[in-house]
Structure formats: structure tokens, C-alpha cells
Structure 1
Amino acid sequence: MKKMSMIILVFSLLLLTGCRSLPFGGQSRIEWVDFIKLNGKEYNGIYSGVLADEDYVGEQIGTVKFKVVGNVTNPNYKIKNGDAAFHDKGTVILKIKNHSDLIAVKDTHTINGYKVYYSREDTDYKWHFKDMPIEKVDRIEIYHSHLPEGDKLISELTMDDEINSFLQLLVNSEENPNFQRNLKTGDPTFYKMIFYTEAPIAYQYYMQFDGDTYFWHPWDTSIISDEMKLFIIGN
């Protein structure tokens, strides 16, 4: 009996820890990051940034040769040039002008139409909110996100005073990692906030509203003042 209990415990731990290969002939499970490998370098997706303008896109520098997700089950697989996690074979890879550490591919589901990637070999990830040069933000877009028809632009801020007021709401948001959102109203409303500077990558962050409280996740969960509603009236 003790031996059987131990077997059940070990098997349960294997499932809980998400092992890449399971005993008894089970399927391997691999959780890929969003990457593209090109010319010996691995590029990772910038999840908190979008292309600021199509004018930054340069010429084609390659194509995806192999999509690993759905085709690779070996956890020891070594990625090679032309591999991509989620893009289909034949996807065109484009350079970003004057930025050798950045590339892009077309993506109709992304704001401004391109998914952007950075070279892990050449630069660190620098698109967290703490990295954003607030003094250089000259335009903010707010989108109602997670809609069946896609993101919907609901507000665009271009005046210095409204940009500064909006940014201060985020800067002054109060960290509350123990915050529990209101579950009685169902799923929260999701928003995307896009911050433009002179850089080719605009900063992108999410905000949520649960019917009572605006909150976001610059690092830990942070609560935003109710004054935020002034920027999304009519949504």
C-alpha cells in the first residue's frame, strides 16, 4: 500500500511540475517563448512594445523556414537559423532601419501591424514601464482590448497637459500585490495603453477595470485612481 502511494505521489509531482517528458510513453510538452532565429542570433518578441510607425520598417532580410510549435516534441531540439516559434514557414522577416538589434514581421493582430523582436545577444530587454523615458512621451493611445472584433481605439492624447496628467495617474498608482478584483461583475474590461516617443518601438501596457477599480501590472499589481475614468468616457 505504501509503495502504491509513493508511485501515485511521484507521478502527481511530475504532472504538477510540467515535466517536458512524461513516463509510460506520455506526450512531451514544450512551452516555447516567442522567438525567431536568424543569422546565428536569437530574437525574442517584445511583449510590452509595438512598432511605432511603418516608416521604420526596412527591407527583407530573411524568411521563416520552420515553425517549431506543433511540429517539435523533442525537448532536446536545438533551434537553428530560420526557425520561429509561432510564425509559419515563408513568413517574411524585415529589418528595422538603423537598429541592427531589432527585426519585425507583419502581424494583423498587433497594433500598427507588426510584431517586433530584439536580439538577446545585442541588448537587454528595455521596455518595462520603469525603462520608459516619461519626459519623451509625445502621444498616448488607449484601446479597448480583448474584443471579438479586435482592439478599438477609444482615446488619443496629444496635448502636453493631458499626457502629463495621464502619466501621473500611472506613476502615482499604488502597489497592492494582494489586491483581489471584483468577481461579481464577470471578466474585467481590458485596455491597452500605447506610449509613443521618438523611438521605433512604442511602449505597450495593459490596464483592467473590474467595475469598481482600475488596476495594472507595471511589476506588482497596482491600483490606479478613479480619475482614470476621465480618459475613457464613452467607452
Structure 2
Amino acid sequence: MIKKWLMLSFLLIYLTGCQPFIGGQSVIDWVDFIQWNDHNYTGVLNSELADASFIDKEIGEVRFKVADNVTNSSYQLKDGDAAFHEKGTKLYSIKGEDNIIAVKDKAAINGYRIYFAIDNSEYKWHFEDVSLDQVKKIEIYKSAPPTGNQQIATISDKAKMENLLEILSNSKDAPAFQPNTSAGDPISYQIILYTDEPTAYKYGVHYDGNTYFWHPSETAILSGDIQHFISEK
């Protein structure tokens, strides 16, 4: 179920670049987007704002929420349109990033949700895009709906960070793997990798009671040694 959800989410993101409208005349499944300055900004799943200090300035606000209000699949997006944000939601620029904007989001780990211009820039938050030798800090959160994310670890020791990054790098592709859900959904964690960039890298790791796995591209199995980093103290 988790794999299918992640694959669908990424599919929707990339479809948005060429066809912003999905679904029929009366029911539209909107991807999370903001239309601004003639560009389509899409919510980034694998990233968080590294720190609120990277927020530059307010650049505008949402003018129209299309979800629940637009049922015509031929609707033409206008600047200020957003899929799910309410009218009046403030938009912010990010220091050093021309193709990324942010909105305040209480559910986001560092208080802002980020969006990148899918029609004007490349997606740069795949694990293979991370300069591992530039990682300065790692945070680990346990996903705990509905209360939110619970931070369970902060790692800044170089040797420990290298060990964890090696575990992630050495995961084994297992596209046919199906998690054991007999006792319920797997436990989910978020691993946040911080460099000197304004945006951090975020990856989900899951545990079904027997196996740790994640989805850097294909589903992949992680060494059980990762439990030394994500076990709650």
C-alpha cells in the first residue's frame, strides 16, 4: 500500500508538468500545486525547508483554491491559484533559490512546505542527488498521526552519520517486496539530511516488524543495523 501510494504521488507530480488537470468533467484529483508568475509550483515530497532563517520575503498570496470549487477539467490555471491552500495564504521566496517558494505549514517539520517550479527546473531531491560528504546533520522522526512527527534522534557525529548514510546507500533493490501487514501498517520514520543548502533532503523508512525498507526509487531492503539509529530511546 505504501509503495503504491508513493508511486502514485510521484506520477501525479510529473504529470502536472504537461497536464495540470486530472480526472473527468465533474471530479478532478488535484495534485498539490501553486500557480505563480506563470509557473506551476508543485509540492516537494522529499524535502523540508532546512531552517526558517532561509525564508526571504513575502511575495504574494493565494487568490483562489481550486479544489472543491472547480469541476471543469478544461479550466485554465491563473496566477494565484492553488490546489488546497485557502485564499489569502501567504507565499514566500527562499534565499538563494529562484525556482522554489514556500508556505507556512504547521505539519511540516520546520514550519514551511516547499514547492518547486516543475516547468522551469529539475527535481533535485532524489537520494542519488545528495552529496553525502556534505551532510552536516541528520534528524530522525517517527511519523505519529494524527499528532504529527515525533523527533527521536539528532546525529551530528561524523562517524555515526557516515555509518547511517552507508546503510542507506547499500540498500538492496527488492521491487517485488510486500511488507507484512498482518499486525497493522508498518511503522514509518522520516530521515532528514541537512547540508548547507536552504532545503534538506527527506526520506521515509518503514518497518513491518521484520524488515526495514524504503523507496529511494524502487522498493529497497535496508540492513537491520539501521535499528541502532531509529530505535526510540
User: C-alpha separation between the residues in 1 aligned to 2:117 and 2:151?
Assistant: 30
Q: What runs of 5+ residues in structure 2 fail to find an aligned partner?
A: 1-21
User: C-alpha separation between the residues in 2 aligned to 1:132 and 1:233?
Assistant: 24
User: C-alpha separation between the residues in 1 aligned to 2:232 and 2:192?
Assistant: 19
Could you say if the C-alpha distance between residues 19 and 112 of structure 1 is closer, same or farther in structure 2, counting changes exceeding 3 Å?
closer
Q: Deviations over 1:83-138 (max 9, x none)?
A: 00110000000111122211110000111000111112331111111111111111
The amino acid of 2:196's aligned partner reads E
Could you say if the C-alpha distance between residues 19 and 115 of structure 1 is closer, same or farther in structure 2, counting changes exceeding 3 Å?
closer
- From 199, 215, 221, give the equivalent of 1:217: 215
Matching residue of 1:101: 99
- Per the normalisation by structure 2, the TM-score is 0.88
User: C-alpha separation between the residues in 2 aligned to 1:203 and 1:189?
Assistant: 20
State the SS of the aligned residue for 1:184: coil
Q: Deviations over 1:148-169 (max 9, x none)?
A: 2110000111000000000011
Aligned length: 212
- From 152, 155, 172, give the equivalent of 1:154: 152
Matching residue of 2:193: 195
Larger gyration radius, structure 1 or structure 2? 1
Matching residue of 1:186: 184
Matching residue of 1:20: 24
- Per the normalisation by structure 1, the TM-score is 0.87
User: C-alpha separation between the residues in 2 aligned to 1:118 and 1:182?
Assistant: 35
User: C-alpha separation between the residues in 2 aligned to 1:146 and 1:72?
Assistant: 33
Q: Deviations over 1:69-96 (max 9, x none)?
A: 1111101111101100110000000111
User: C-alpha separation between the residues in 2 aligned to 1:234 and 1:19?
Assistant: 42
User: C-alpha separation between the residues in 1 aligned to 2:23 and 2:51?
Assistant: 41
Matching residue of 2:130: 132
User: C-alpha separation between the residues in 1 aligned to 2:37 and 2:230?
Assistant: 44
State the SS of the aligned residue for 1:112: coil
User: C-alpha separation between the residues in 1 aligned to 2:231 and 2:205?
Assistant: 15
Q: CA deviation at 1:201?
A: 0.6
Q: CA deviation at 1:32?
A: 1.4
- From 85, 88, 111, give the equivalent of 1:87: 85
Q: Deviations over 1:152-187 (max 9, x none)?
A: 000111000000000011110100011121122211
User: C-alpha separation between the residues in 1 aligned to 2:91 and 2:231?
Assistant: 39
The amino acid of 1:20's aligned partner reads G
User: C-alpha separation between the residues in 2 aligned to 1:213 and 1:53?
Assistant: 32
Could you say if the C-alpha distance between residues 147 and 19 of structure 1 is closer, same or farther in structure 2, counting changes exceeding 3 Å?
closer
Matching residue of 1:165: 163
Q: CA deviation at 1:19?
A: 5.0
User: C-alpha separation between the residues in 2 aligned to 1:119 and 1:199?
Assistant: 17
Q: CA deviation at 1:225?
A: 0.6
Task: Give RMSD over aligned pairs.
Answer: 1.3
The amino acid of 1:31's aligned partner reads D
State the SS of the aligned residue for 2:110: helix
State the SS of the aligned residue for 1:78: coil
Matching residue of 2:6: none
User: C-alpha separation between the residues in 2 aligned to 1:117 and 1:148?
Assistant: 23
Matching residue of 1:141: 139
